[in-house]
Structure 1
Amino acid sequence: MREEPAAISWTPDLSGSSGPIYLALAAAIQSDIQIGALNPGDRLPTHRALAATLGLDLTTVTRAYGEARRRGLIDAAVGRGTFVRDVGRGRRDAEVAPVEVDLSMNLPPLPAASDIPTLLSRTLATVLRRGDAAQMLNYHPSGGGADDRAAAVQWLTPLLGDLPPSRALVAAGGQAILTALLTTLAPAGSVILTEAFTYPGLRAVAAQLGLTLEGLPLDGQGLIPEALDAACARFSPTALYTIPTIQNPTTATMSPERRDAVATVARRHGLTVIEDDAYGMSPTVPPPPIATLIPELTWYIGTVSKSLLPALRVAYLVAPDERRATRMRAALRAVSQMAPPLSAAVVARWIRDGTAHRILDEIRREAAARQSLAAAVLPAGTFAAHPQGHHLWLSLPQGWSATAFATQARRFGLALVPDSAFAVAPATAPNPAVRLSLGAARDIDHLAPALERIASLMDEDADVPPEIV
């Protein structure tokens, strides 16, 4: 296994500099290379470490490293750091690296200041010290027991308002809920409407159940109501599946006015709506779900996995009424039997004592820091994002296909997801695009060189050899 050199101790002299600090810092890198203070292969301090040394904002150092990269002075080695470039080596000499930073999985970032493993361990110990600990290790009711459903209602109250616990169900993740819903609501051959680019898990379930997906056009606010209206008249669909907040993958978020227009169309056609609000808790001020506008037509999915921690595998389903909740309980039993009892108990405890909201606030701050980093590194105007979202949708320069770009990124230790993974045929993006999941990186110091490498690839010609495309 290769042993990487330690980062050098380097403190640039910025005294007497005028103009933007990030340009002065980039100029200092260039100057120190010219005088031999920095040599090819030297590993520079991390963004965070140099910012602390110089008393600068992290974004300023990020912009400076980005500018130095654009000048051809430095390069990012994913998972290893930022190095002074040896201009005598071309990019064709780059070795194919194992995946060092997997930006393909969309998950909430671990907050830099939180010790969630320790917190999780303590909570599990507390749960297992309860008087009914033995029951924790047994089978639990499908759809969740009374305590878990009450916690679900408490968690969702900021979004949905007051709910009777009888309408809430607890399951082993959003994918289990989606499978149970489509198995119950949509006979084989049914048409399900969705956004033209959508969650790959929906595509997988639809293929398994023999359902036809029809992709609808989006704009910057997501689903277009007029297109939905026309599709309802043309296809007589069984349901609409939509992600109205920080849409996966495009990041579009419906405004309240757009949600009202979509709800009006659904009401006019009596259309069942499956509202996947996986990222609904991410914004500090979350928009009102469609379920608040047409509760009688909407099945609402809220997942803790995308809000707090994927390993918990707990998600909530709110049915239009108690009768349909009872029916769906049987479907969930057939799909996954029950939510993981220990995970559900941990989540319920965190919701009741306020821990869940404290973690959520820390995740929002970490997500915002990562989005700021991306904005500083990636070319302006090339991507769509939400300031507290966990991913972004990157449009590629002319000449690149999304598959070729993702393949080339893989040669440098990066895993990205091309637009084809989300496309509902015959969808095409205005430009080829890839999804970058910023939350997947271990921390900002691992994310920064990954983003620098992506920005560097965007500056290069799309001359990927056919055998690796």
Structure 2
Amino acid sequence: MRDYRSIADDIADDIAAGRLRPGDRLPTQRRFARTHRIAASTAARVYRDLTRRGLVVGEVGRGTYVRAAPVRPDPALAEPAAATTVDLELNTVLPPGSPASLDALRPGLDGLLRPDVLAAALRSRSVTGTPEARAAAVPLLSRANWSPSPGDLAFAGNGRQAIAAAVSALLGVGGRLGVESFTYPVVKGIAARLGITLVPLPVDERGLVPGAVADAGVDALYVQPTLHNPLGVTMPVRRREELADVLRRHELYAVEDAVYTFLRDDAPLAAYAPDRTVLVDSLSKRFLPELTVGFVVAPPAVAGRVAAALRSGAWAASGFALAAATRWIEDGTVSSVQESKRADAAARTRIIRTGLSGFTVRSDDRSYHCWWELPSPWRADTFLAAAARRGIAVSPAGAFAVGAAHAPSAVRLALAGPDLSTVEHAVAVLADLARRDPESEGVE
């Protein structure tokens, strides 16, 4: 019997030679198995291998298609390629009005550059930071009626390192981490490096479905209860209570990613299950992308393991970054930037509400991203290619999908990077594109 990889190689050769063209639909796996006289399980492995290579894409209810090339020569009916790219793919959340608003950072830095203060800041620090840093972080991270205990705080180099430390503290090699079926792509990379298996869990319009956790056989969870990336949903109070109850009953820990919570006032999952939740956050979204300080709030039972993971991974925050962050928190600069970003996010959401009116879009009243379910017959892969020819980069649903399940025909729009007028123009261009027939774009 032929190895699945050699069969996948044959399909890859057909794609390279043009015998299978971008947009061509592959047969169902069952039909493929009959045609090639192989087992259904082998056919499934062939399709997974082709997906892993980036040669095909599967979409819910529609089948598996040969991927469209990101950029191809423009067909006669397509608009000319744009000279520059509008980035609606990455959410780099700069302070509104940058770089002029960065002048507000100078007072904090001026004090930090005094020789005696600078010498202290350049010394290596424990992962628990300084008393000043812990005292400053408590009000910053507090939400609704919840506040972290200063003794439960640790500091990472950035938010990604905070997530990695929390996950590695809770699971060993071979562990099973439950995640929403669409999740922050960095978590997929972290799990792969740590030898951890991600288990996709269902999500509805209220977030992760708690009832699915018990039967999933997971050892811990990674969840985004507030402004989920990419789906944009926020768990209501009742759903958070249900999930907290599941964590307690099954003695599970959850890593709560709170990076977007500064845009809303919801109490975190940690408020409902304080002994079962490790909350992670950072300054990258709420303040400055390049100020790399991450926060970990861990319950006492696992705080030592989290601290050990931060130390062994060399993931502790640098003394200088921590000292600068502390000063900017204390003098109100971080709070001021956060408030301006809340207003800025609301303005960008209004652009989406107006520009994509009539389409199926999921977003929050204050969010820096939205989830757009594309109209038929568009597929995420072909829409991505057509948008790229107009100089606009977006993220397909498949970039966030966990496991081998087919991704829906949807894209995430990251709204934070360009200025408001650019976002408004880009959304208008994408809306016009979505109303067209993909065949006229040469990508179907």
Q: TM-score, normalised by structure 2?
A: 0.78
- Alignment map for 1:282-431 (pairs within 5 Å): 282-283=263-264, 286-321=265-300, 324-428=302-406, 431=408
1:427 deviates by 3.9
Query: Alpha-carbon deviations, 1:9-67, whole Å to 9, x = none?
Result: xxxxxxxxxxxxxxxxxxxxxxxxxxxxxxxxxxxxxxxxxxxxxxxxxxxxxxxxxxx
- Alignment map for 1:210-225 (pairs within 5 Å): 210-225=195-210
1:114 deviates by 7.9
1:91 deviates by 6.7
**DSSP-derived class of the 2:438 partner:** coil
Equivalent position amino acid for 1:224 in 2 = V
> Residue 166 of structure 2 corresponds to which residue in structure 1?
181
Aligned mate of 1:252, from 233, 236, 248: 233
Query: Alpha-carbon deviations, 1:243-291, whole Å to 9, x = none?
Result: 00010100010000000011111111101111111111111xx211111
**DSSP-derived class of the 1:299 partner:** strand
Equivalent position amino acid for 2:204 in 1 = D
Matched, 1:457 2:433: yes
> Residue 261 of structure 1 corresponds to which residue in structure 2?
242
- Contact conserved, 2:201 with 2:212, CA < 8 A, in 1? yes
> Residue 432 of structure 1 corresponds to which residue in structure 2?
409
Aligned mate of 2:255, from 274, 283, 291: 274
1:145 deviates by 2.2
Equivalent position amino acid for 1:154 in 2 = P
* Structure 1 residues 269 and 99, CA gap change in structure 2 (3 angstroms): farther
* Structure 1 residues 91 and 268, CA gap change in structure 2 (3 angstroms): farther
Equivalent position amino acid for 1:178 in 2 = I
- Alignment map for 1:130-169 (pairs within 5 Å): 131-159=116-144, 161-169=146-154
Partners of 1:107 and 1:328 in 2: how far apart?
A: 28
* Structure 1 residues 372 and 407, CA gap change in structure 2 (3 angstroms): same
**DSSP-derived class of the 1:463 partner:** helix
- Contact conserved, 1:104 with 1:440, CA < 8 A, in 2? no
Partners of 2:226 and 2:383 in 1: how far apart?
A: 27
Equivalent position amino acid for 2:411 in 1 = V
Partners of 2:318 and 2:196 in 1: how far apart?
A: 29
Question: Alignment length, in residue pairs?
Answer: 371
1:158 deviates by 3.0
Partners of 1:465 and 1:449 in 2: how far apart?
A: 20
**DSSP-derived class of the 2:280 partner:** strand
- Contact conserved, 2:280 with 2:295, CA < 8 A, in 1? yes
Query: Alpha-carbon deviations, 1:82-120, whole Å to 9, x = none?
Result: xxxxxxx98745333354211111233532488332222
1:210 deviates by 1.9
> Residue 114 of structure 2 corresponds to which residue in structure 1?
129
Equivalent position amino acid for 2:295 in 1 = Y
Partners of 2:391 and 2:89 in 1: how far apart?
A: 12
- Contact conserved, 1:213 with 1:424, CA < 8 A, in 2? yes
**DSSP-derived class of the 1:131 partner:** helix
Partners of 1:294 and 1:256 in 2: how far apart?
A: 12
* Structure 1 residues 416 and 437, CA gap change in structure 2 (3 angstroms): same
* Structure 1 residues 187 and 119, CA gap change in structure 2 (3 angstroms): same
1:189 deviates by 1.5
Partners of 1:230 and 1:98 in 2: how far apart?
A: 51
**DSSP-derived class of the 1:336 partner:** coil
1:223 deviates by 0.7
Aligned mate of 2:155, from 170, 191, 205: 170
Q: TM-score, normalised by structure 1?
A: 0.74
**DSSP-derived class of the 1:132 partner:** helix
Identity of aligned residues (%): 34
RMSD: 2.3
Moved over 6 A (4+): none
1:465 deviates by 6.9
- Contact conserved, 1:399 with 1:462, CA < 8 A, in 2? yes
* Structure 1 residues 318 and 451, CA gap change in structure 2 (3 angstroms): same
**DSSP-derived class of the 2:177 partner:** strand
Partners of 1:253 and 1:377 in 2: how far apart?
A: 23
Partners of 2:245 and 2:262 in 1: how far apart?
A: 24
Query: Alpha-carbon deviations, 1:289-338, whole Å to 9, x = none?
Result: 111111111101122212222111112100111x6323322211222342
Partners of 2:230 and 2:76 in 1: how far apart?
A: 30
- Alignment map for 1:12-161 (pairs within 5 Å): 92=77, 94-112=79-97, 115-129=100-114, 131-159=116-144, 161=146
* Structure 1 residues 158 and 350, CA gap change in structure 2 (3 angstroms): farther
Partners of 1:98 and 1:427 in 2: how far apart?
A: 36
**DSSP-derived class of the 1:434 partner:** strand
Partners of 1:150 and 1:330 in 2: how far apart?
A: 22
- Contact conserved, 1:404 with 1:464, CA < 8 A, in 2? no
* Structure 1 residues 95 and 238, CA gap change in structure 2 (3 angstroms): same
Partners of 1:96 and 1:352 in 2: how far apart?
A: 48
Partners of 1:91 and 1:192 in 2: how far apart?
A: 48
Partners of 1:397 and 1:99 in 2: how far apart?
A: 26
